[in-house]
Amino acid sequence: MSSLQDLPPFPSDVPTAPIARIALYSLLASEPSACASVLEACRTHGFFYLDMASTPLGSSLLSASARLHEISHQVFDHDLDYKTAHDLIKGVSLFGYKRAGTVKTTDPTLRPDSTEFFNIAKDHVHAIKPSLSYPSEITAPETWSLLHAFTRDAHAVGMLILRMLATQLDVAPTAFTAKNDLNQPSGDHVRLTHQPARVPDATNAIGLPSHTDFGSVTLLFNWLGGLQIQSHDPAHLDEWAYVRPLAGHAVINLGDAMVTFTNGVLKSAKHRVVDAPGEQGRVGRYSVVYFVRPHDEAVMEACEEFKHLGGKGRVAGKFEPRVERGEVLRAGEWMRQRAVQLGS
Ligand SMILES: O=C(O)CCC(=O)C(=O)O
Ligand SMILES: [Fe+2]
């Protein structure tokens, strides 16, 4: 197994996306330039790096994500029968195992995905709902309490970003956080991902086809390249560029719920995962993700302050949620429909 110390380096000769680096420390101190950079990033690339240095919150997230990376090796090493005994069920539960090849194919050549996931619900870890059965390495008391701290801290970072965005957009500071309550049932989860090492000359699969995330804020901890976003450089518009993994940083992006809440003012950027470049592609790729999502009862409409914009805040390509006549669409149902559409 590759430990974090001996992973091959990211190559220096592949195009990378020039996304902003913003320090968690500066956001916690409400430094105006850092807060303005968050808004700028969420209106343009839709992605930014969050430097975790010099804060207990950042250190605790980094060490928890490194430990979850180690545990992921054990979890994904089980044979397929063991893993599929924990399968998530499309349209019924977002949580559990997702095998490779089940995500909606959005790639022009319809390549299936090569990534397997374990989605572990915040509601299970925080005993908000009775838990499903997960592999024993996940439910071991040491891991379960690590997941408890990790979900709490990742959610706290999400709330900090949402408060910053509300303040920068001149709306009530709680406009977005009020829709993402940690203590209410929600689709929040930790996702452990695994993509096998590159198979030489094979082009018949893609790590994860292009998609947007469905929730409010995504925090990603990754150690190998492979994540890509589309370029904003007029000379290379829409070409895919790697997001170079940076030690000590998380990668942050907004999801579709924030597009809906702001009537399209904020962006959920398309991204995809391909084989890690160069030497990095020779080893399996693991990532640890936390999805902050609106709680199940949150109404999926633009916040009052954004209603006047009248736009539709369209998300996720052709996705049109179905709403019964006279009903309001709440996040629980919205997430369910999106998960059926995307297959994750
Ligand atoms: O592993 C990554 O780099 C990103 C994963 C991702 O985009 C997702 O799980 O939605
Ligand atoms: Fe994603």
CA distance 17 to 97: 31
Number of domains composing the chain: 1
Nearest CA to ligand 1 atom 3: 227
Span from the CA of 259 to the centroid of ligand 1 (angstroms): 19
Structure confidence at residue 104 (pLDDT)? 87
Confidence (pLDDT) at 90: 80
CA distances to 72, 195, 202, 281, 297 from 1, in Å: 11, 14, 23, 14, 42
DSSP 135-182: -HHHHSHHHHHHHHHHHHHHHHHHHHHHHHHHHHTTS-TTTTGGG--T
The ligand with the least distance to the CA atom of 226 is 1
User: Binning pLDDT at 50, 70 and 90, where does residue 316 land?
Assistant: very low
CA distance 307 to 222: 37
Q: Tell me the best of 104, 273, 344 to mutate to test the pocket of ligand 1, counting ligand atoms within 8 Å of each CB and taking the most.
A: 273
219 lines ligand 1 (CB under 6 A): no
Length of the chain: 344
Residue 228: CB within 6 Å of ligand 1? no
Ligand 1, residue 218: give the atom nearest the CA. Answer: 10
Domain holding 48, by residue range, is: 4-340
Ligand closest to CA 220: 1
Tell me the sheet residues that pair with 208: 273
Residues forming beta bridges with residue 1, ordered by sequence position:
none
Question: Alpha-carbon distance 41 to 254, whole Å?
Answer: 10
The SS3 of residue 288 is strand
Residue 283 binned pLDDT confidence (cut-offs 50, 70, 90): very high
Contacts of residue 235, defined as CB under 8 A and 6 or more positions apart, other chains included, come to none
* Interval 190-229: pLDDT, tens: 999 999 998 877 778 899 999 999 999 999 999 999 999 9
How far is the C-alpha of 203 from the C-alpha of 108, rounded, in Å? Answer: 13
Q: Is residue 234 very low, low, confident or very high in pLDDT (cuts 50, 70, 90)?
A: confident
Least confident of 244-258, 263-277, 308-322: 308-322
Q: What is the reported pTM?
A: 0.95
Residue nearest to atom 1 of ligand 1 (CA): 287
Cβ(20)–Cβ(48) under 8 Å? Answer: yes
pLDDT of 236 higher than 50: yes
Check pocket membership of 193 for ligand 1, CB cut-off 6 A: yes
The residues near 325 (Cβ < 8 Å, ≥ 6 apart) are none
For 210, the 3-state DSSP assignment is strand
CA of 286 relative to ligand 1 center, distance in Å:
10
pLDDT winner (highest mean) among 84-98, 115-129, 221-235 = 115-129
Q: Is 206 in the pocket of ligand 1 (CB under 6 A)?
A: no
Distances in whole angstroms, Cα of residue 18 to Cα of each of 45, 53, 142, 223: 9, 20, 38, 18
Q: In this predicted model, what pLDDT tens digit does every residue of 50-63 receive, in sequence order? A: 999 999 999 999 99
Q: End-to-end alpha-carbon separation of the chain, Å?
A: 27
Of 144, 186, 182, which is closest to residue 160 (Cα–Cα)?
Answer: 182
**CB within 8 Å of 254: residues ≥ 6 apart:** 42, 46, 213, 216, 217, 218, 266, 267, 268, 269
pLDDT tens digits, one per residue of 117-158: 999 999 999 999 999 999 999 999 999 999 999 999 999 999
227 lines ligand 1 (CB under 6 A): yes
Ligand nearest to the CA of 114: 1
Ligand 1 atom nearest to CA at 117: 9
CATH of the domain at 123: 2.60.120.330
Q: Of 40, 61, 41, which is closest to residue 49 (Cα–Cα)?
A: 41
Q: Which atom of ligand 1 is nearest to the CA of 213?
A: 10
307's CB contacts (< 8 A; 6+ apart) are 263, 301
Ligand 1 contact via 83 beta carbon (within 6 Å): no
Distance 273 CA to ligand 1 centre (A): 7
pLDDT band at residue 338 using 50, 70 and 90 as cut-offs:
confident
pLDDT, mean over the chain: 92
Render 291-320 in DSSP notation, one character per residue: EE--BTTSB-S--HHHHTT------STT--
Q: For atom 10 of ligand 1, which residue has the closest CA?
A: 213
pLDDT class of 309 with cuts at 50, 70, 90: confident
* Residue 180 in this model has a pLDDT that exceeds 50: yes
Average pLDDT over residues 39-56: 95
Per cent of the chain over pLDDT 70 is 96
- 93 Cβ partners below 8 Å, 6+ apart? 132
Amino acid at 35: C
CA-wise closest residue to 256 among 245, 244, 264: 264
C-beta of 271 in contact with ligand 1 (< 6 A): yes
